[in-house]
Amino acid sequence: MQSRPWCVAQPRNDLAPRAFAGHVYTDPALLDQALTHRSAGSPHNERLEFLGDALINQFIAEALYRYWPKADEGALTRGRAELVRESALAGIARTLDLGANLVLGPGEMKTGGHRRDSILADALEALVASIYLDAGFDACRAVVLPWFDPLIAGLPPANKVGKDAKTRLQEWLQARQRGLPVYTLVEEHGDDHARIFRVSCRLAEPAITTEGEGSSRRAAEQQAAEAAMQVIDA
């Protein structure tokens, strides 16, 4: 694979790699388009993003249908949302070194667009569409689904997926008729534009107190609740 610098789009028919992310392209121009951000000119990858989004959703829906044979529609929907969210797609893009191969305009290049989750996720969707258009549905699925295998294997049980830590903790306590957690702001520090909140989560039964930090009080509460769940599940 030949890496390209982050730069304004140029005619690259002779430079485009024919193999990328496990697929050998019959039409390398599709790969060029998938890797070109709209800030770099046309043809760019926005239309491919639209198609790739639909393909990924279909691949993941089918994979989860088989992975969770007893899950209901709600759990399957939450699981799919977890796997296709922007940060998950951006993480896969990083494993493929997609950012190092993007073609960006000068503004995006200066602001580090090759590292931004939104740009990486969109480019991954475009990449999927380019493989589909180059080789068809079955070949595309065979290349793309293995990218998601670690994320699928790392999902919590179907009845817990998609629920945040505070919700899971509350449900655990209520199912055992125990008192709800008490969240207390312990500390707040930092500049106005970069505040850090530290929050405690105290349970009466079992007697547990945990803490969490975050850029908002809600985020800190979620972290503290996650810490409490880890103690409970230990």
Catalytic residues: 53, 125
In degrees and rounded to multiples of 5, residue 136 shows phi and psi of 100, 170
Angle at 129 between CA 128 and CA 135, to 5 degrees: 90
Residue 234 Cα distances to 65, 149, 157, 191, 201, angstroms: 30, 26, 16, 36, 17
Give CA–CA dist 81/122, Å, rounded.
16
Asked whether residue 122 is marked as a ligand-binding residue, the answer is yes
Q: Is 14 exposed, middle or buried (0-12, 13-18, 19+ CB in 10 A)?
A: exposed
Kindly state the tokens that stand for 107: 């503004």
Its sign, for the CA torsion 136, 140, 142, 143, is positive
The per-residue DSSP string of 98-146 comes to -GGG-B--HHHHHTTGGG-HHHHHHHHHHHHHHHHHHH-HHHHHHHHHH
Looking up tokens 């534009």, which residue turns up?
193
From the annotation, which residues make up the binding site for Mg(2+)?
49, 122, 125
From the annotation, which residues make up the binding site?
49, 122, 125
